[in-house]
Copies of this chain bind each other. A is one copy, B any other.
Amino acid sequence: MDFRSDNTASVAEEIMAAITAANVGTAAGYGDDDITRRLQPAYSELFETEVRVFPVLTGTVANALSASVLSPPWGAIFAEAESHINQDECGAPELFTGGAKLIALEGRGGKIPPEELRRRLAAAGQGFVHAAQPAAFSVTQTSEAGAVYSAAEIAELSAIAKESGLGVHMDGARFANAVAALNDGNESVSPADLTWRAGVDVLSFGATKNGALGAEAIILFRTDLAEEMSFRHKRAGQLASKMRYISAQLAAYIEDGLWLRLADHANRMCAQLADGLGALDAVSLDAFGGANELFVELPGETVVALREEGFEFYDWPEVIAAEIGRRSSIRLVTRHDTRESEVEGLIAAVKRLAG
């Protein structure tokens, strides 16, 4: 019963099948194969515009390389304080950009308030030679805190960024969960609406957390960045010699809506958790964003007892040992392969222990 992260998930069977199917005969190395070539039209169709796709191994690389084509070495990149690109990459964006500076924005409710971006841009010293030059804005969809931005919210932030001449990056490690969440009810929002139509120039399109083996795609909506990216991508060690096996994952991932079906399952499991736990008096929930993360406050002793029973999850926002007699805060993440029995088991256990 594992609620630690979606990166503990298995590989979806359709994706494993695609890898196996790719494993026939020989194929040209370094992405000069048929499967890789088909990614361009496939993703262009998905996004309803011509895009350029660069497969990479990890979200770290996807974010850092994306930053590197939007910011010069003396640039400033604005991102939420809690975002991966700001605090979880051990300096990867700094490495791949050649020394750009991340400017931490304070989020509210898991999102970046437009006025915060506006305020920090106003103070940023554009054109002032002593200051790192405002170059890019990065927004995380689904955000680190599990919040999902609407297309209008993305567009508003992008517009502010673009007024100041910044490029816009979206960290979409959980983009699928956001798209699935926003298409859950009556409304319909396309991947295009949430990205380039809302001003996004470059997208880190995540697949690994949502069923791939190890594959993310950098999607360039600004195709003029592709030539530069091709050299950066190679130089970062991401031009895999047997690219076909990474590309096969990315192809299968978006075929017949697989990515949204997988994300939808994870989201529904999380909604079920939110419903079940939210009904209990001893539990307080952060607002559930609709995607696959839930932040929960419980009595410390319940947290301890849950772990003793084999439930796995992380303390959040930071790792603090749960203590008897205090409230304790944890993060629960559901996956494309979370079983309903896991969710029911957790709800039942909390009910029993803390109810």
Residues of A at the B interface (CB closer than 8 Å) are 2, 4-5, 7-11, 16, 19-20, 23-30, 56-61, 64, 72-75, 87-92, 94-96, 98-102, 104, 123, 125, 129-133, 208-209, 213-214, 228, 230-232, 234-242, 245-246, 318, 335, 337
Contacts and interface: CB of A to CB of B under 8 A. Distances in A.
Given A27-B8, A91-B74, A60 B239 contact: yes
Contacts of A92: 234-237
Contact of A90 (B26, B96, B133, B337): B133
A90 B213 contact: no
Closest 3 CB pairs of A and B: A61-B237, A94-B99, A7-B241
B7 A242 contact: yes
Given A74-B231, A90-B132, 12 more contacts: A5-B241, A7-B29, A8-B26, A16-B19, A26-B335, A61-B237, A74-B234, A88-B130, A94-B100, A98-B99, A104-B104, A129-B230
A131 B90 contact: yes
A99 B91 contact: yes
A90 B74 contact: yes
A237 B240 contact: no
13 contacts: A7-B29, A7-B30, A9-B26, A9-B242, A11-B242, A60-B237, A61-B237, A87-B132, A94-B99, A95-B236, A209-B241, A213-B242, A236-B237
Nearest to A91: B74
Contacts of A132: 87, 90-91, 94
B24 A20 contact: no
Q: Is the interface of A mostly helix, strand, loop or mixed?
A: loop
Copies in the complex: 4
Contact of A318 (B8, B123, B129, B230): B123
Given A129-B234, A130-B234, A242 B91 contact: no
A158 to B, nearest CB: 24
A123 B179 CA distance: 32
* Most central of A27, A75, A318 by chain B CB within 10 Å: A27
A23 B8 contact: no
Contacts of A61: 236-237
A190 B352 CA distance: 59
A19 B213 contact: yes
A235 B11 contact: no
A200 B238 CA distance: 26
A2 B23 CA distance: 15
B237 A58 contact: yes
A100 to B, nearest CB: 7
B102 A240 contact: no
B234 A214 contact: no
B24 A8 contact: no
A241 B184 CA distance: 28
Nearest to A338: B26
Contacts of A98: 73, 95, 98-99
Given A7-B30, A98-B98, A214-B246, A56 B91 contact: no
A230 to B, nearest CB: 6
A99 to B, nearest CB: 3
A72 B72 CA distance: 11
Nearest to A97: B99
